[in-house]
């Protein structure tokens, strides 16, 4: 069965087409990623502006056409924090569903964390024991921990790399004052959930998903003698000052850092460092599977019932 997973996120609209069957590993066949930065079209009133809606409609049109072109049997569209939090998100989704005959659904933050956790559990298997999973997206941070396929605790915080860059970081390079304000804000947000997380801290493996964390792992590999397959707290601390002092053009020339992510990678790095330090995590293993793979796995489980 060929499934098209359509991920409408804060940074991109991403279509991933996979051949998937119950009991088998999903096999990717097609990828189409459109940089949109939907969260940047969110105004002070919490409304996605008309230009953002226009660009979103164009991206959805292109992805739906591609899914049909490659003969997808089913399209699984979902949206995360940008549309989840927008005051006009429901209206936009209703219009998109009507225009393109799709069923775009908004995931709650907890659902996003749980489905990502499922993907990590299936990747590492039961022998991996209790997992702690961390995902830093454009609009939100998700964390989940547990020993089963459903996490014991899963939550989402508005600590996405794109969101924090827009709300806190100023200048190019970023000013030291804005960086201090960012760090204080992240610490304050984390303090609200750490007591609950620390009750589940006895984990066997700490796992990282998302493009932000994969990019940071690669940078620590290049700059701090890492292997690129994990993100080490010590290595992250070594690269943070250098990363913060660069301007956007300099960061965009780094290996693995696209022009579209060059501005927000600093905020993502500070969130990662705060999470790892506060949770006493020395190393995060990079998991190849994340939310989109979890959507496929969950859908396959559903049709088996």
Question: Residue 156 belongs to what domain range?
Answer: 124-286
pLDDT digits (tens, 9 = 90+) for 83-138: 999 999 999 999 999 999 999 999 999 999 999 999 999 999 999 999 999 999 99
- Mean pLDDT value across residues 8-25: 94
Please say whether the beta carbons of 121 and 195 come within 8 A: no
Same domain, 100 and 137: no
What's the start-to-end Cα distance of the chain, in Å? 17
Same domain, 86 and 140: no
Q: What is the DSSP string of 71-128?
A: T-SEEEEEE-HHHHH-TTHHHHHHHHHHHHT---EEPPHHHHHHHHHHHHHHHH-GGG
pLDDT digits (tens, 9 = 90+) for 213-224: 999 999 998 887
pLDDT of res. 202:
80
Please say whether the beta carbons of 18 and 2 come within 8 A: yes
Same domain, 273 and 168: yes
Residue 302 lies in a domain: no
- Mean pLDDT value across residues 225-250: 93
Residue 304 lies in a domain: no
Same domain, 18 and 161: no
Please state, as a whole number, how many other Cβ atoms lie within 10 Å of the Cβ of residue 172.
13
Same domain, 9 and 54: yes
Q: What is the DSSP string of 262-294?
A: TTTHHHHHHHHHHHHHHTT-SEEEEPS--HHHH
Question: Which helix (H) or strand (E) segment is 27 a member of?
Answer: strand 27-35
Residue 171 lies in a domain: yes
115 Cβ partners below 8 Å, 6+ apart?
107, 291, 294, 295, 298
Cα–Cα separations (whole angstroms), residue 290 to 61, 71, 101, 241, 280: 24, 24, 26, 29, 23
- Mean pLDDT value across residues 152-158: 93
Sign of the Cα torsion 201, 272, 256, 40 reads: positive
- Mean pLDDT value across residues 58-86: 97
191 Cβ partners below 8 Å, 6+ apart?
none
Structural domain total, the chain = 2
Same domain, 133 and 79: no
Cα–Cα distance measured from residue 84 to residue 24, given in angstroms and rounded to the nearest whole number: 32
Strand partners, 42: 48
Cα–Cα distance measured from residue 12 to residue 33, given in angstroms and rounded to the nearest whole number: 7
pLDDT of res. 198:
66
Phi, psi of 224 (to 5 degrees): -130, 30
Same domain, 141 and 281: yes
pLDDT of res. 305:
66
Phi, psi of 121 (to 5 degrees): -60, -45
> Peptide bond before 78: cis, by omega within 30 degrees of 0?
no
The per-residue pLDDT of the chain, averaged, comes to 94
Same domain, 102 and 133: no
With b for 16 or more beta-carbon neighbours within 10 A and e for fewer, the 192-204 pattern comes to ebeeebeebeebe
Task: Give the three-class secondary structure for 180.
Answer: helix
Task: Give the CATH number, domain containing residue 30.
Answer: 3.30.420.40
């Amino acid at each position: 069965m060929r499934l098209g997973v359509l991920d409408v996120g804060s940074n991109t609209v991403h279509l991933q087409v996979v051949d998937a069957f119950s009991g088998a590993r999903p096999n990717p066949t097609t990828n189409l990623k459109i940089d949109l930065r939907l969260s940047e079209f969110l105004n002070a009133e919490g409304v996605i502006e008309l230009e953002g809606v226009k660009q979103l409609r164009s991206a959805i049109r292109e992805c739906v056409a591609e899914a049909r072109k490659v003969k997808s049997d089913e399209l699984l569209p979902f949206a995360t924090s940008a549309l989840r939090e927008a005051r006009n998100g429901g209206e936009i989704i209703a219009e998109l569903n009507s225009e393109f005959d799709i069923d775009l659904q908004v995931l709650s933050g907890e659902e996003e964390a749980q489905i990502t956790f499922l993907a990590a559990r299936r990747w590492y298997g039961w022998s991996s024991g209790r997992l702690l999973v961390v995902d830093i997206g454009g609009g939100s941070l998700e964390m989940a921990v547990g020993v089963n396929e459903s996490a014991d605790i899963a939550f989402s915080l508005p600590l996405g790399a794109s969101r924090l860059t827009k709300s806190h970081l100023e200048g190019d390079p970023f000013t030291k004052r804005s960086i201090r304000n960012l760090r204080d804000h992240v610490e304050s947000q984390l303090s609200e959930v750490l007591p609950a997380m620390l009750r589940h801290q006895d984990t066997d493996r700490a796992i990282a998903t998302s493009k932000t964390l994969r990019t940071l792992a690669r940078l620590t590999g290049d700059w701090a003698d890492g292997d690129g397959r994990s993100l080490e707290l010590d290595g992250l601390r070594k690269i943070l000052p250098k990363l913060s002092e660069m301007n956007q053009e300099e960061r965009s020339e780094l290996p693995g850092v696209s022009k579209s992510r060059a501005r927000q990678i600093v905020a993502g790095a500070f969130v990662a460092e705060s999470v790892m330090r506060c949770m006493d995590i020395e190393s995060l293993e990079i998991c190849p599977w994340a939310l989109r793979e979890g959507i496929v796995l969950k859908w396959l489980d559903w049709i088996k019932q």
